[in-house]
A and B are shown apart, each in its own frame.
Chain A
Amino acid sequence: DAMVIQNPRYQVTQFGKPVTLSCSQTLNHNVMYWYQQKSSQAPKLLFHYYDKDFNNEADTPDNFQSRRPNTSFCFLDIRSPGLGDAAMYLCATSRGVVAGGRNEQFFGPGTRLTVL
């Protein structure tokens, strides 16, 4: 089945120790997103890739970076995690076309990050 996969499902890191979260997809979608979700709140978009074009949200801290080496994979790097970065991180994909707001997003299961 076509899907969005996130690894690991649970990640524990120490305060200030860099961490990388991974997302892969078999849907061949050209748009990939990273969201941060805290305590059953609405997901907050951090950034997204439209093909190779990186689109950062204005309020995303510099501490968060992303890489997309190819269509299938996308990584979220947190350079110096703070206690406030503990959250669920969700990856999503969608089929992106010009004026493509009608296309739904497909979400992975998420990675729950704990910062000690």
Chain B
Amino acid sequence: DAGITQSPRYKITETGRQVTLMCHQTWSHSYMFWYRQDLGHGLRLIYYSAAADITDKGEVPDGYVVSRSKTENFPLTLESATRSQTSVYFCASSESWGAQHFGDGTRLSIL
């Protein structure tokens, strides 16, 4: 089915480890986004991408790395995970200016 898929749905890791969250969309949307959602902070933008090989920082980019070699994929990597990065991560995509469509999230716990 067409849509946006995030994997894994749940992940537990330890501080200092590298972890990559995957995001795949089948709409061929140009724009893709990574958010984290925490109680008391709502949705905060980490990184976004306007097209393949074009990425830019959002509100809270520190500690995260993204790449976009293909239009349909937008992985998010935590190079050295910290406890403060425990959160629910959402990937989204949009065709252009306007409504974004979200995946069901990855719940990440860092011990």
Q: Do A and B bind each other?
A: no
